[in-house]
């Protein structure tokens, strides 16, 4: 499988996971495979209510914490999903969200580089 097809497959699988696990998917997903990392940028993930809440500093902290906890509670599912797609074990999983842009970044580090 080409790198582009693999990246597309990962993007689609993560969008499906979001819909099933979180109840809604992102608007746009872009995946890049680089050495032993899979880097995913998801855009349009915040609901209108979350955007409004994030206008205050306290609300921003609440949205970031809630979204982080939700995704990280599914971290083992995400690692398993990634392993099924790429056939390489995930060593670490990192994620963060920007309440300003409504983007989430996910980084999966793998036990070895994809070839």
User: In the prediction, which pLDDT does 4 show?
Assistant: 93
Q: What is the reported pTM?
A: 0.90
User: In the prediction, which pLDDT does 25 show?
Assistant: 84
Q: For the domain covering 3-110, report its CATH number.
A: 3.30.980
Q: Please state the separation of Cα 39 from the chain's center in Å.
A: 8
Neighbours of 80 (CB within 10 A): 12
3-class state of residue 84 by DSSP: helix
- Report pLDDT digits (tens) over 10-51: 999 999 999 998 888 899 999 999 999 999 999 999 999 999
Buried b (16+ CB within 10 A) or exposed e, 7-37: beebbebbbebbeeeeeebbeebebebeeeb
Cα angle for residues 34, 110, 71 (degrees, 5° grid): 95
Nearest to 83 by CA among 42, 105, 114, 106: 114
User: In the prediction, which pLDDT does 114 show?
Assistant: 83
Checking if the pLDDT of 9 tops 90, the result is: yes
């Amino acid at each position: 499988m080409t790198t582009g097809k693999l990246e597309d497959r990962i993007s689609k699988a993560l969008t499906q996971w979001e819909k099933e696990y979180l109840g809604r998917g992102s608007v746009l997903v872009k995946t890049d495979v680089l050495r032993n990392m899979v880097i995913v940028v998801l855009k349009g993930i915040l609901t209108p209510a979350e955007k409004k809440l994030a206008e205050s500093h306290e609300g921003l902290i609440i949205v970031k914490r809630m979204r982080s906890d939700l995704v990280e509670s599914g971290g083992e599912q995400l690692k398993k999903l990634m392993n099924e797609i790429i056939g390489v074990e995930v060593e670490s999983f990192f994620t963060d969200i920007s309440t300003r842009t409504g983007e989430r970044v996910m980084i999966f580090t793998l036990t070895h580089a994809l070839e």
